[in-house]
Structure 1
Amino acid sequence: MKKTTQRPSPKAMTLMLGACAAALVAGIVSSPAPAFQASLQGLNLWWKIVFPGLLPFLVLSEILIAYGWVSALGAFLEPLMKKLFRLPGTGGWVMAMGLTTGFPGGAQAVQQLHAQGSLQAEEAGKLAALSHFCNPVMILVVVATGLMHDPALGYGLIAVHWIAGILAYLTVHRRVRTKGTAPASDKPRQQRLEGKPAPLPARVLQAAEEARAKDGRSFGRLLGDSVTHAVQVLMMIGGYIIIFSVVIQIAGRVTTARLPIPDYALSSLFEVHLGARDISAAAFASGGLQWSVLSALLGFSGISALLQSMSLIRKTGAPLMPMVWTRILHGAYAFALTWLTWAPLAALLGRIHPVYSENGPFSGSRGPIEDLWVLMPQVLKWQGLLLASILGALIVLLIVVPRRAKTVRR
């Protein structure tokens, strides 16, 4: 017999959420000045770092998705999905979405495939847990460059983030085999002329062509839609940052008087951007410990990100607790991997002190947001390199795909 997980009734959820909202309103009304200051701090973080750091890359990522780059990466990952993760090959596209766009892009892609009948409920839950990653551009530009002022270490942080997430998934889900046969949609692009499977490069290129043909928008319309969607996504992120800034401030008033916990622990529990800001401004005994705590935060991703993804996965009927356990393990593995690799990485790059300490290079009266404007040339340099690489890849795709399509038609 299958075990069924009991979920709270709609009435119980309504009462619980209503009580939380009422408690939040009471906390704001009882001390409006601190709540207003917390809201301004969240707005300041979003407007000065998150918005300018992510907007160009969100626009370009939308364009790359429309031109088939994510679909091509998904086709490239199909063999890995079947053999290593024991998931349908179509999940390669979802994993590619999670790796490139970050949460909740992976969960949204899972919901789309489940609605199309390409995924069972159990597969949807496992694939959502596998594809829940932070946006790599957010890690590199916002966290490593804007907050920690060290873009070079951001690349190592991205690698650790991906490796730890895969290890966490394998730990939680690898032992459980999905029952039932693979869906029919799991066999795209496998059979070609004379019944022989096409080589992987051909399947990758065809996936890009099919995605581009399915999108069909002109470049002008695509650019306008991409800017509109990117701004909408950033507005949503800003709303989460501001509301959780107030929640953290109210929760801090209750907990700090009773529990001796650092400020960054509470903010990291709720929201990844706010937690990263507080970790970057805190004084740690060593740089390795600071970056390890930051890496653990990115792996866990915070309650805010979990709620965003779980609200989408709930519609598939998949169990939600494996997603939570995977994120907890993701944070633990990320902390351990960062701590183990910090010594050789720091020796290679010459980083042996914490970013913010009495003897650190950025000590002083300024905070991380004010220091960003001092280091803006460095930020723009790394942003320029990333933008140039993405634009170069886009130009290559614009040249190659039309030629490939013409040869296929002939």
Structure 2
Amino acid sequence: MREERRGHRSTVLLAAMAVVFTLALVIYPKVGYEAGMQGLKVCWEIIIPSLLPFFIVSELLLGLGVVRGFGVLLEPLMQPLFSVPGVGAFALSMGLAAGYPMDAVITARFRQTKQCTRIEGERLLAFTNTADPLFMFGAVAVGMFKSPALGALFAVAHYISSFLVGVTFKLWGRRDPDHLREVKDREEVRPKGNLFARAYREMLVAREEDGRAFGKLLGNAVSESVQTILMISGFIVFFAVVIEILEVSGIMAVIGWPLMEIYRLFGIHTGLVQPTLAGVLELDIGSAQTAAVPAPLIQKLALVSGIIAWSGLSVHAQVASVLTQTDIRMRPYFLARFLHAALAALLTVLLYGMGVGRSSQGAMASLAHHLPVMSSAFEQNGFWPTFAHAMSNSVVWWAAIFAALVALSFGALLIRRIRVIAFFVRSHG
């Protein structure tokens, strides 16, 4: 009975919001039209050219069985770190390349084809929902802040915090009975033997299970990808209009009053209230508005980093639409986005205080400058003086930290394997 009443209240609230929004479009037709055209321009010039090829390629790789073979190879890495199957690395890599909601599209396909459990799908969405590097380096750092060096700051904070979220969500749903049963069934039918031979066999099996001729597979990939990209474009246009209507009607100012008091209490520039609310709804608009506010730079950087990690309700709605054909829940996704936003903002403040992003030159240019001269410097000055000089550059320093994290991950995996072998020898000795 309580759930039914709650559903009735939600229906009434949503209906009221829809009516109010419709009336607002009637009252402000020009504003709605211009905002819609701006959203369509973003979709036509950025979203469709950048995402559509990735969608088509991912569908082809799934149908050809490449993803399942790829997952077998990366199972020893993804399982100990994040407690997800090896195919999760494909969702992670495609999310890094194309940005959100690419990860949600691939994760939904994994769940539909039974390549992951519901819990594993929720874990995947927790840390694969990332922005692509081109957006952070190009659109945000160069386009909004006019500083290429800030791209490294945003990227390092974004991806390290995403990694931390993934490690944290490793424990999510670990005692769920359905998850444990599905994992057990999967382990029982998993083939044994050489890793590369297993990957090859699994790729062939996945291709046979799909069964579609390549022409039909390509046609389905294009049609399904176009349908997905139209859905994403529709959400972008809708939220662009919503934000503009809220600002023109003054509703945004009313909603932002409590947040303004909180910002005053903690000494945060009150001009960031409006961009914060816009960023909650749509990350591109919120980031652009934040960069234009005459507030302290460190506050703007932290807010933009948090907005990128949060990714906006527009992206959340896109993810929810993609997941409607699966049993993956949105609640863990929301929790992960809150955690990701908080960690990204905190890391941005810490990294900027340590010098990342302050260089007048771009981070990648600085790194490219240092790498070619390393070998000659080693010959002239010796290893340790050259190493100390290289580490004095913040970009090289954080690149070394990232490499160390990767090395530690592989080291932990190796130690785990050695312990398993030692236990097996003792038990059969």
TM band (smaller chain) = 0.5 to 0.7
Measure the CA separation in 1 of the matches of 2:217 and 2:291: 37
Which of 316, 323, 327 is the matching residue for 2:337?
Answer: 327
Matched residue, 2:162: 165
Contact 1:272 1:298 in 2 (8 A): yes
Which residue in the other structure is 1:82 paired with?
79
Worse overlay, 294-303 or 252-261:
252-261
The AA in structure 2 aligned to 1:238 is: S
Give the CA deviation at 1:77: 3.2
The amino acid across from 2:304 in the alignment is L
1:255-288, Cα deviation, whole Å (9 max, x unpaired): 32562553321221112232233334444422x5
AA at the equivalent of 2:186: S
* Pairing 1:285–2:296 present: yes
Normalising by structure 2, report the TM-score.
0.63
Alignment length (residue pairs): 340
Deviating more after overlay: 53-62 vs 314-323: 53-62
What one-letter code is carried by the residue in structure 2 that aligns with 1:235?
Answer: L
Aligned match for 1:304, one of 305, 314, 318: 314
User: Structure 2 regions of 5+ residues with no counterpart?
Assistant: 261-271, 364-429
Instruction: Give the aligned partner of residue 232 of structure 2.
Output: 237
Higher helix share: 2
Kindly indicate whether the alpha-carbon contact (under 8 Å) linking 2:152 and 2:357 is maintained by their aligned counterparts in 1. Answer: no
Q: Which amino acid aligns with 1:20?
A: M
- CA displacement, residues 188-243 of structure 1 (integer Å, 9 cap, x when unaligned): 7641xxxxx313x555566666667758765x887777666655544333322221
Residue 133 (1) aligns with residue 130 (2): yes
Matched, 1:276 2:287: yes
> Structure 2: how far apart are the matches of 1:229 and 1:155?
35
User: 1:120-269 residue pairs with structure 2 within 5 A?
Assistant: 120-144=117-141, 146-148=143-145, 153-154=150-151, 157-172=154-169, 174=171, 177-179=174-176, 180-181=180-181, 182-186=183-187, 190-191=191-192, 197-199=193-195, 201=196, 203=198, 232-252=227-247, 253-256=250-253, 259=257, 260=260, 262-269=273-280
Structure 1 residue 160: deviation in Å?
3.1
Mapped partners of 2:44, 2:117: distance in 1: 40
Q: Matches of 1:158 and 1:65 in 2, distance apart?
A: 28
Once the two structures are overlaid, the 10-residue window that deviates more, 117-126 or 224-233, is: 224-233
Pick the aligned partner of 1:106 from 103, 106, 114: 103
* Structure-1 separation of matches of 2:300 and 2:139: 16
Name the CA shift for 1:116/1:67 in 2 (closer, same or farther; >3 Å).
closer
What is the CA distance between 1:299 and its match in structure 2? 0.9
Change (3 A) 1:175 1:144: same
Report deviation, 1:23: 1.5
CA contact (8 A) 1:125 1:313 kept: no
Displacement of 1:49: 4.3
Partner Cα separation in structure 2 for residue 29 and residue 120 of structure 1: 46
Q: Note closer, same or farther for the CA distance 1:171–1:74 as it changes in structure 2 (3 Å cut).
A: same
- The 1:19–1:295 alpha-carbon spacing in structure 2 relative to 1, beyond 3 Å, is same
136 and 97 in structure 1: CA distance in 2 versus 1, 3 angstrom threshold: same
- The 3 A distance-change label for structure 1 pair 120 and 59 is closer
User: What is the alpha-carbon root mean square deviation over aligned residues?
Assistant: 4.0
**What are the ranges of 5 or more consecutive residues in structure 1 without an aligned counterpart?**
192-196, 353-410
- Give the distance between the partners of 2:97 and 2:3, measured in 1 at CA: 34
Residue identity (%): 28
Structure 1 residues 314-367: Cα deviation after superposition (integer angstroms, max 9, x where no partner): 654455322211100101111122222234332445379xxxxxxxxxxxxxxx
Partner of 2:409: none
Alignment equivalent of 2:32, drawn from 27, 31, 35: 35
Q: Look up the match of 1:357.
A: none
